[in-house]
Structure 1
Amino acid sequence: MTAIGFQPDSAVSRMLSDASSPSVRTSICSRFSFVRESGFAGPAALARTPWYAARMVSAMAGENRTATGSPEWAPHARYAAVRPPSRDPDFTGRPGLREPQPSRILVHSPAHPRTCRRATPMKLLHTADWHLGAKLGRHDRTDDHRTALRALLDIAASERPDLIIHAGDLFDAYRPPYPALRLGVTALQRLARIAPTVVISGNHDSGALFDVLDDMAGMASPRRLRFVTRPRVLEFDDLAEVPVVLACVPFIPPGAITDYATGDASRFEGDYADGIRSLNDRVMDRAREAAGPHGIVLYTAHLHVDGARPGNSERRFTVGEDHATHTKGLHRALYCAFGHIHDPQQLPGSARGRYAGSLIPLDYGESSQSKHAVVVTIGDDVQVDERELPPGRPLQSFNGTLRELETRAADGALDGCFVKALVKSDDPVPDLADRVAEWSPKCVIFNLVNEVANRPVRPISGGEDGEEPSIEDLFVEWRSTAATVRATKAPRETVLTLFREAVAGSGDEEGPDFGLTELTMRAEGVLAALRGGSGSGAAGSRDGSHTREPGRQGDS
């Protein structure tokens, strides 16, 4: 892109460096045919200037606008102008105003960005699927998450990335427990001190909670942390020598894909993969337009790509064939940061990118997986490296005899580990958990099963005439031999009577009500008494007289 009337000579450079007052800046802007707009203290058409001239002039203005367009003051920051409204800000087909975006400042170079030589490479840190608040059975994993987050912060402090991307599933549940919420927010705040940080929502995250967190993050000045819950394009003008654009596609439920696939939901025809492909095309078109011919386009999403290797812990409902998408069209991004699949791996297809994987092994389906953070360096080419993260407490499995378990666990060998054991024996082993705790007192027993070879198996036998036992006889046998203590607290005869009524009424349309009719009538009578009127229940008009509220006289 060539600036109008620009002459790159030493005299011009001296004029720019001496531009310390508004009048001098005005004369320089006039000489280079810069367009000025009312209400701005600096040039509004920096997109038409060489990057070094724009940087010098805008640094004198002392004003900076982040990817959200909110004005923030910082020394030596480049100036950003406000863009016109957009008719479709969130790719929902609904009109609205796009948030003000930074203006584009492009490097004057005829080369394609993939082959353009950059003096200073841009660095990106990619992480995903923290699942804070997750438990292994009834056991809390906060200590394991905290250990991995410390390592991630050390990596960020060492690598000093220009941008940090979290590709979804920050929490394990829509309503994370308060310790998990605090841990996540604190970790993101510390990452944001190192570099601007963007977090997209995953299928485990609450969009409403993310919107609240995003509003709170927007109060900081300068803003460094952003939560994204809808497809959108974020633009940054101060991360590299060229504009950097991040296309964001959070997890989209199948029922909502029609709202994002096209501008008109009523005209969309296709499956989930077709909707995501259409959305990706629209997002990438807008990102490519915003970046210009020499900008850096990045892409992040929380999706299942067809051909990816899912781990055993992901919810099958959201990684099945019905939710499989494709990477067609994503080759236009220099790097694609994906989340959702917990096993770290390269993206299938032609797109350049990776699944970062989960922060720690979440259950035994991931016990053999190594966990990483991804560091991406964009310079003359795109270099993708992995930095290993500590897995937390090891998830140990055992399948063997009691003697073999003793040998493995003796002298605290399993201390600090989660233990899942299947112990085979000829006869039942009493106090098995106590024995394991004696050998490794600091281990955490996740699951302990004793498989007994000599346990008698009695076939179901009928009566003397060889007939099969009735369902009532089977119920009595189950209650006396296999039911839990809680299930046998109720009186035997009462339970049998209710069971007989239930079985007898199973083929009746009305069926037994187990006393619910009388209970309902009493409840209606109480409600009528509280309202001061008559009720149809037993407590309301048992003798035909009206029941009134206590202490209240008759209506006059």
Structure 2
Amino acid sequence: MRLLHTSDWHLGQNFMGKSRANEHQAFLDWLLVLIESERIDALVIAGDIFDTGTPPSYAREIYNHFVVQIQASGCQLVILGGNHDSVATLHESRTLLACLNVTVIGGAQPEIRDQLVVIHDRSGEPAAVLAAIPYLRPRDLVSSQAGESPEAKQQAMTQAIADHYAALYTEAEALRDSFSSPLPIIATGHLTTVGSTSSESVREIYIGTLEAFPASAFPPVDYLALGHLHKAQKVAGEEHLRYSGSPIPLSFDEIGNDKQVLLAEFSEGALQSVTPVAVPHTQPMARWKGNLQQLEARFQELEPLSLRAKPLWLDIEVQEDDYLSDLHNRLQALAEEHGVEILRLRRQRQRNRQGLEQQSRETLSELNIDEVFERRLSAEALENDPAAAGLRNAFAEIRASLDEELNG
């Protein structure tokens, strides 16, 4: 049995004012060819299909079109909800998609057995048991207690997630044993694990209660298909515990990461191999650092416009020349001349030398919400004060609560 593992598509993402629709469509077109050429039996998407709980209509159209197109391949499709997804949005077409050999599990189910899926090979024979676990929202697993400490909340959430995995694994074992042939048990998840590497586009999902889930708390599944982190990686160095990562860079700090999907092959009831398959990169992106003279040289090194299919998206950090009042205009003129789009332009931050004087020249367009908070905190001379830690925790919990409300 050949299973393809992917996650974190984030359909509908608005990236600094730019749509990713063309990139996503190119990825899905490539994915359909891969599924057909490699004769994939099942495709598992481990959460964050959409970038928001209320995706734009074009993102829903891309999603629905893909579901229709995959039918010709005979590949079974399993879709799990992530922290960016709305359970209601995913489930609105769930019954209809079930008629198309598509299983959608947007959130934890009241009856845990409803999260068990039998994966079939192309001949229709049972080939694996899938413990389909989406993003587990705290309200689905634990009840908040008045006066409970952050440490107690973290322990309760960790235990609740571990219990959910353990209960579903027990059910999966019973289902597996009901078949005459040996079948592997595969599980999914959408969360951060201890020791994993994140990126700036990844939203923390258990701030104030759980930062990362220990790999040792997962049950002994044959393969664990994880989502949420955008960098492809193994968990605790284990071959069978994997994040597939996002198929396209969702932030500038993901540019250097190899984007991939994972092909897991099983036989005789066990995992045989996991093969990364590189996703073609369709939108050029780069991060440049330097003073104005160095940046001007970088522009001159670009290949002619006639040889480039798409404009380069740039994140520029200017060093040393932050005193120039016309810096922005000069760089924009260079960008227009060379067919480049500057999506983010910022000055190097040199607090030790310039402190708040430099920060006063920054604009809101150069900062994200966390950086704005840190600037305000430093203005109160609280940055290294013990009270700052409490303020940061409170700010993080408020952000997490608002994100959860906005995303359903």
1:205 counterpart = 2:92 = no
Residue 170 of structure 1 aligns with which residue? 49
The alpha carbon displacement at 1:181 in A equals 1.1
> Paired residues, what number?
328
Whether the 8 Å contact between 1:330 and 1:351 is mirrored in structure 2 is no
Structure 1 segment 301-340 matched on structure 2, within 5 A: 301-318=189-206, 322-328=210-216, 330=218, 332-340=220-228
1:190-219 deviations in whole A, cap 9, x for unaligned?
A: 23432010001000001001111212213x
Picking from 321, 325, 335, the partner of 1:428 is 325
Give the alignment partner of residue 444 of structure 1, picking from 341, 350, 356. 341
**Letter paired with 1:374:** L
State the secondary structure of the residue aligned to 2:171.
Answer: helix
SS in 2 for 1:227: strand
Which of 180, 184, 195 aligns to 2:59? It is: 180
The amino acid of 2:89's aligned partner reads L
Flag structure 2 segments of 5+ consecutive residues without an equivalent.
110-114, 144-152, 365-408
2:103 is aligned, of 226, 229, 234, to 226
SS of match in other structure, 2:93: helix
Question: Could you tell me which amino acid in structure 1 is paired with residue 101 of structure 2?
Answer: R
Aligned residue type for 1:213: S
How many angstroms apart in 2 are the aligned matches of 1:326 and 1:191? 35
1:258-309 per-position Cα deviation (integer Å, ceiling 9, x unaligned): 38xxxxxxxx995111111111111001011101172221111212222222
Secondary structure of 1:250's aligned partner: coil
Q: CA deviation at 1:411?
A: 7.1
TM-aligned CA distance change 1:483 to 1:342, over 3 Å = closer
Q: Which moved more, 1:431-440 or 1:378-387?
A: 431-440
Larger Rg: 1
Relative to structure 1, is the Cα distance of residues 147 and 320 closer, same or farther in structure 2, using a 3 angstrom cutoff? farther
- 1:235-384 to 2 correspondence within 5 Å? 235-236=118-119, 242-258=126-142, 270-292=155-177, 294-318=182-206, 322-328=210-216, 330=218, 332-348=220-236, 352-379=240-267, 381-384=271-274
Q: Deviations over 1:445-480 (max 9, x none)?
A: 102346799xxx9x99xxxxxxxxxxxxxxxxx9xx
Q: Does 1:403 align with 2:403?
A: no
Residue 483 (structure 1) shift: 11
Give SS of 1:435's match: helix
Provide the rounded CA distance (Å) in 1 between the counterparts of 2:264 and 2:19.
32
1:160 and 2:39 matched: yes
1:361-390: CA deviation from partner (whole Å, max 9, x where unpaired):
101121211110100111255210010012
Separation in 1, partners of 2:348, 2:91 = 50
Structure 1 residues 403, 191: CA separation in 2 closer, same or farther (over 3 Å shift)? same
- Paired position in structure 1 for 2:374: none
Check whether the contact 2:286–2:314 (CA below 8 A) recurs between aligned residues: yes
**TM-score, structure 2 as length reference:** 0.72
For the 8 Å contact 2:131–2:169, the answer to whether it is kept is yes
2:214 partner letter: H
Decide whether aligned partners of structure 1 residues 236 and 482 sit closer, same or farther in structure 2, where only a CA change above 3 A counts. Answer: closer
Q: 1:452 to 1:174 in 2, by over 3 A?
A: closer
Distance 2:292 2:4 in 1: 47
Q: How far off its partner does 1:438 sit?
A: 3.8
Q: Relative contact order: is structure 1 or structure 2 higher (C-alpha 8 Å, sep ≥ 6)?
A: 2
Residue 512 (structure 1) aligns with: none
Q: Distance in 2 between matches of 1:323 and 1:173?
A: 22
Residue by residue over 1:216-259, the C-alpha shift from the partner in whole angstroms, topping out at 9 and shown as x without a partner, is 213x4xx3212112351112455575552111111111222138
Show CA shifts across 1:301-338 (max 9, x none).
21222222222221124478714223446453221111
| Partner residue in 1 for 2:403 | none
Q: Which amino acid aligns with 1:153?
A: L
Would the aligned equivalents of 1:331 and 1:351 in 2 still touch at CA under 8 Å? no
TM-score by length of 1: 0.54
d(CA) in 1 for partners of 2:300, 2:282: 22
Q: Give, in angstroms, the shift of residue 351 of structure 1.
A: 7.6
* Structure 2 residue 280 is matched with structure 1 residue 390: yes
Q: Given the alignment, which residue of 51, 64, 70 partners 1:191?
A: 70
Separation in 1, partners of 2:349, 2:6: 45
Aligned twin of 1:418: 313
Decide whether aligned partners of structure 1 residues 452 and 314 sit closer, same or farther in structure 2, where only a CA change above 3 A counts. Answer: closer
CA apart distance, 1:420: 1.6
Distance between the aligned counterparts of 1:363 and 1:148, measured in 2?
17
- In 1, the alpha carbon distance for the partners of 2:54 and 2:188 equals 24
Distance 1:330 1:316 in 2: 20
CA distance in 2: counterparts of 1:440 and 1:135, whole angstroms: 24
Whole-Å Cα distance in 1 between the matches of residues 154 and 253 of structure 2?
A: 37
Q: Deviations over 1:36-57 (max 9, x none)?
A: xxxxxxxxxxxxxxxxxxxxxx
**Aligned residue runs from structure 1 range 402-551, under 5 A:** 402-410=292-300, 413=303, 416-423=311-318, 424-425=320-321, 427-429=324-326, 431-441=329-339, 443-449=340-346
How far apart, in 1, do the equivalents of 2:176 and 2:298 lie?
58
Tell me the C-alpha RMSD between the 2 structures. Answer: 3.3
**Alignment equivalent of 1:133, drawn from 12, 28, 46:** 12
Residue 273 of structure 1 aligns to a residue in which SS?
helix
- Cα distance in 2 for partners of 1:360, 1:305 equals 21
Q: Are 1:201 and 1:251, in contact at CA under 8 Å, matched by a contact in 2?
A: yes
Q: Distance in 1 between matches of 2:130 and 2:36?
A: 22
Counterpart amino acid of 1:228?
I
Change (3 A) 1:407 1:350: closer
- Aligned-pair identity (%): 25
In the alignment, the residues of structure 2 paired with residue 314 and residue 235 of structure 1 have an alpha-carbon distance, to the nearest angstrom, of 31
8 Å contact from structure 2 (residues 141, 161) kept in 1: yes
Structure with more strand by fraction:
2
Question: Structure 1: 5+ residue runs without aligned partners?
Answer: 1-121, 260-267, 461-477, 485-556
Matched residue, 1:517: none
